[in-house]
Amino acid sequence: MLEELRWKTSPAATALYVAACRASGVAATDGMLAAALATPADALIAEIDATGLPRTELLAEITSLAAEFENNRELVTRAAARLHAAPLSSPTATRIAGAVGELEAALGGEQPNLAEELAARVRPLREQWEARGPGMLREIGRLTDEAIVPSAAEIVIVLPYAGGRGLAHPRQNRITLEGVLVHPHPQLPEPLRIAWLLAQLNSDLPRYADALPPGRSAFAFAVALAPATLAAAQEVELATCDEPALGSAFEAWGLSGSLPADAPQRVFNWWNAWLDGAATWPVAVAALERLLA
C-alpha cells in the first residue's frame, strides 16, 4: 500500500528528460522547446555514445537522479554506476557533465521562469490524483499482486515535451511525469498514467524480475499493467476496460511502437485469462512476455 507520495519539480530533470526523449526517438509536440534544446541534447547524446554505454538507459538514469544532485559530475558518475558499468574515466565524466550543463543552460535561456511554471503545474495534477488515484492504485494491487504497489514513491514534474508522457524509475522509486495542464487523451485522464507508472516501481523486485528474461521485465510489466490500470479506473468510473481502450492506452502511454499490431487483442485475452486463472502474477507476466515475443 502506498503510504507516502512526494511531489516535486526539477528544471534539471526537465532538460535531461528532453534528451532522453530525443535519444529514444520520441516525437516532440512542443516545437519551440525541441528546437531550443536540439543541439545541446544531441551533443550530450553524442558524448554518451562515445563511451559505448547504452544511451537510453544512461539518460533515463541521469534523468531519474537529476532532482537529487546539483553537481553534474557526481550526477553522471552515480548514474553510470547504477548501470553496473565500469567507472567513467575522469575526462569522460567531465565531458558528459559539461554537456549536461550546456543543456541546462539552453533550457534556462528558453524558459527563464521555469521553476515557477513547473510549480504551477503540480497542483492540478495532484488534486486530480488525490480524488481517485489512491483508490485506483489499491485496486491495481488487488487485481494483480499486493506487492506491486510501493510503500513510498516520488513524482517529479517536468515540462511537457511529447504532449503527455512519463518514465518509471524503479531503482529510485520515482517517476518523471510531464506536467500537462489538460488531458491529452480525454478518455484516459492523467491519473491513469500516474497509477500505471507508480505500479511499475516494484517491477525490479527479484520475485518479478527473476521470472523474466534479463532486460525484459520492465517492458513486460508496463504492458501487463495497462489492462490492470484500465480495470482499476473502471472501478472508480474514470475509464472503461475493453480492447479498444487498451489499444488507446498502448498508444497514449508510448507502448504501441514496440508491440505487434494485434497486441490489444492478445493482451486483453491474456488479461481475461489471468482473471479466470490461478497462476501467480510473476508467472502470468512471464506468459505474457512469451506471448508477445
C-alpha cell, 147: 506487492
In a domain, 243, yes or no: yes
In what order do the strands lie in the sheet containing 174-178? 4-9, 152-158, 174-178, 166-169
Is the pLDDT at 130 greater than 80? The verdict is yes
Q: Is residue 5 part of a domain?
A: no
Q: Is the domain of 156 the same as that of 211?
A: yes
- Tens of pLDDT, residue by residue over 133-145, are 999 999 999 999 9
Distance CA 114, CA 131 (A): 27
Domain co-membership, 191 together with 287:
yes
Please indicate, yes or no, whether residues 103 and 136 belong to a single structural domain of this protein: no
Specify if 1 maps to a domain: no
pLDDT, average across residues 164-170: 96
- What is the structure's pLDDT at 48? 97
- The whole-number pLDDT of residue 238 equals 96
Looking at 114, 134, 165, which one is the last position of a domain? 114
With cut-offs at 50, 70 and 90, classify the pLDDT of residue 84. Answer: confident
pLDDT score of 278 more than 80: no
- Say what the pTM is: 0.96
The pLDDT, as a whole number, for residue 1 is: 85
Q: Is the pLDDT of residue 179 over 80?
A: yes
11, 108 Cβ separation under 8 angstroms = yes
Query: Where in the sequence is the domain holding 110, given as residue range(s)?
Result: 10-114
Residue 4 covered by a domain: no
Give the residue from 157, 189, 163, 195 showing the smallest Cα distance to 176: 157
> Closest Cα partner for 153 from 116, 194, 118, 206?
194
Domain boundary residue among 93, 114, 135? 114
Contact, 21 vs 140, CB < 8 A?
A: no
What is the percentage of the chain residues whose pLDDT exceeds 90? Answer: 92
Q: Which of 75, 91, 114 is the last residue of a domain?
A: 114
